[in-house]
Amino acid sequence: MRRVKEKYREGNVRIPSGCAVSGIMNRQGKVFSGKEIIKSISLMRDRSNGLGGGFAAYGIYPQYKDHYAFHMLYERESCRAKTEKFFKDNFLVEKAELLPVSKVPSIKEPPSVWRYFLLPREDKYEELQLSQPGFIVRKVMEINSSIKGAYVASSGKDMGAFKGVGFPEDIGEFYNLEDYKGYLWTAHGRFPTNSPGWWGGAHPFTLLNWSVVHNGEISSYGTNLRYLEEFGYECTLQTDTEAAAYLFDLLIRRHKLPMEIACRVLAAPFWEEIDRLPEGPRKFFKNMRIIYGKALLNGPFSIILGCNEAMVAINDRIKLRPLVAAEKGAMLYVSSEEAAIIEVCSNPDKIWVPRGGEPVIGRIEEVEEKWVSAC
């Protein structure tokens, strides 16, 4: 894997609007095969260049839904040995196995890919005075920063990330995604510009149950990174998208912001827009911009966030990256291109282009009902 990382460096070719993102969700929680998301993302092959593809899937491990499912990428066997000792020291390991993969001619020098179903040891996280999720975050950061050649692809419950160096449809074939069934799928086809094309740097980027696929360039990455470090996060995977995933975790899980407000923090209204608002909203958004100024994402982007309860799509405030959404019954679709939606839903009930900074949020219906009643 390291040779792939060193061989393919960005900068030789640059495409200003490259990368493809796609997401499909059943809001009733009904599962469907991964072949649909592969079909959608593969239509946008021209938006990527083979240096990265990946998927996140939710609802795929119902038999282990209470365990944290770690998908791991290993460059060498020694990396696996160190990581498995780390797991035994900090977790109860329910199951450890090679993740099933197939030989695909275009996938060169893949790492060893394993999955683990884990429960944090109570004595360990209580000793650190951390919650279970906080403990998981701490341990993900430790693995990625201190065990050279080992990378956490995903660490959530009843979900997993499948990613690597290749076109997304080839990555889907490599991981046998047609054999999985989930109620929410996101996908990414990468055309990297400023960061390495390597297995750990492919999208999606994840933490706990959050996953992010992203088209664009976050020019505020340096500010965002330093802000995240104030809260104990470590960005080690050489891409701005990692920071976006951690910001969602910080704002929603730790600071308890509603998803809508978290999106308005990351893609905040311009000051002139805030000045035109009525007094109440004007004061609220002014305060949010002051409090969370270092969390603001600048630059062109379209992002799809997945979690166990929802799918969120949002792009930058002046819409420098494309984003299209559609609905068909209980299904919600978001993508870089309308054609990628029509490929899997030929006659949607509704199709629209969200405004810049305007989030598209789909919730599992049971969760949505609980959220409305809580309000």
Active site residues: 19
Tokens found for residue 302: 């379209």
Strands (E), 191-252: 205-207, 210-216
247/252 Cα distance (integer angstroms) = 8
Is 69 in contact with 156 (CB distance < 8 Å)?
Answer: yes
The pairing of beta strand 210-216 with beta strand 331-335: unpaired
Strands (E), 155-280: 159-164, 181-182, 184-189, 205-207, 210-216
Strands (E), the chain: 20-26, 32-33, 53-58, 68-74, 91-98, 112-120, 150-154, 159-164, 181-182, 184-189, 205-207, 210-216, 301-306, 310-315, 324-328, 331-335, 350-352, 360-363
Is 308 in contact with 157 (CB distance < 8 Å)?
Answer: yes
127/357 Cα distance (integer angstroms) = 41
